[in-house]
Chain A
Amino acid sequence: MKSRSAIFLLVVLTALTSAVVGAGNWQPLKNDGLHDPSNPAIEVLQEPGEALSVLVPDGAGNKVDWVQSLQQGLIEPRPSLDGGREPEILDSDVIMKNTYPMLYVRFPHKPHTQWMACEMCHDRIFLPQEDANPINMGKILEGEYCGLCHGAVSFPLTECNRCHNTDPATLVGESAATGEGAQ
Chain B
Amino acid sequence: MKGWTSRLLTLLVIASLVPAVVAWAEYADVTINTRSEAEGVAPVIYPHWFHRIRFQCSVCHVDLGFKTGAGTTGITMEKLIDGQYCGACHDGNIAWSIDNCDLCHSGRPGLETGIKGGHETMGPGLY
Pair from one complex? yes
B79 at the interface (CB under 8 A from A): no
A151 at the interface (CB under 8 A from B): yes
Chain B: residues with Cβ within 8 Å of the partner, total of 57
Within the assembled complex, what's the spacing in Å between the Cα atoms of A171 and B7? 56
Complex interface: chain B residues within 8 A of A78 (CB): 54-56, 59
Complex interface: chain B residues within 8 A of A44 (CB): 103
Interface string of A74-98 (1 = CB under 8 A from B): 0101111100010100000000000
A176 at the interface (CB under 8 A from B): no
CB-CB under 8 A for A152 and B108, given A15-B15, A77-B55: no
Contact of B63 among A81, A142, A149 (CB under 8 A): A81
Complex interface: chain B residues within 8 A of A14 (CB): 15
A34 at the interface (CB under 8 A from B): yes
Whether A11 contacts B15 by the Cβ 8 Å rule is yes
Complex interface: chain B residues within 8 A of A148 (CB): 68, 124
Interface size range of chain A in the complex:
35 or more
CB-CB under 8 A for A77 and B52, given A34-B111, A35-B107, A152-B115: yes
CB-CB under 8 A for A115 and B28, given A25-B19, A62-B119: no
Q: Return A7 CB to nearest CB of chain B, in Å.
A: 7
Compute the total of residue contacts between A and B using a CB distance below 8 Å.
173
Within 18-70 of B, Cβ neighbours of A (below 8 Å) are at 18-19, 22-29, 31, 42, 45, 47-50, 52-59, 61-63, 68
Complex interface: chain A residues within 8 A of B89 (CB): 81
Complex interface: chain B residues within 8 A of A153 (CB): 27-28, 48, 52, 115
Complex interface: chain A residues within 8 A of B62 (CB): 116-117, 119-120
Whether A52 contacts B49 by the Cβ 8 Å rule is yes
A-B contacts, 13 listed (Cβ < 8 Å): A16-B22, A19-B22, A31-B23, A33-B108, A36-B42, A36-B107, A45-B106, A62-B119, A81-B94, A115-B56, A120-B62, A142-B125, A143-B123
Q: Return B69 CB to nearest CB of chain A, in Å.
A: 8
Whether B25 contacts A33 by the Cβ 8 Å rule is yes
Interface string of B2-20 (1 = CB under 8 A from A): 0000011001100110110
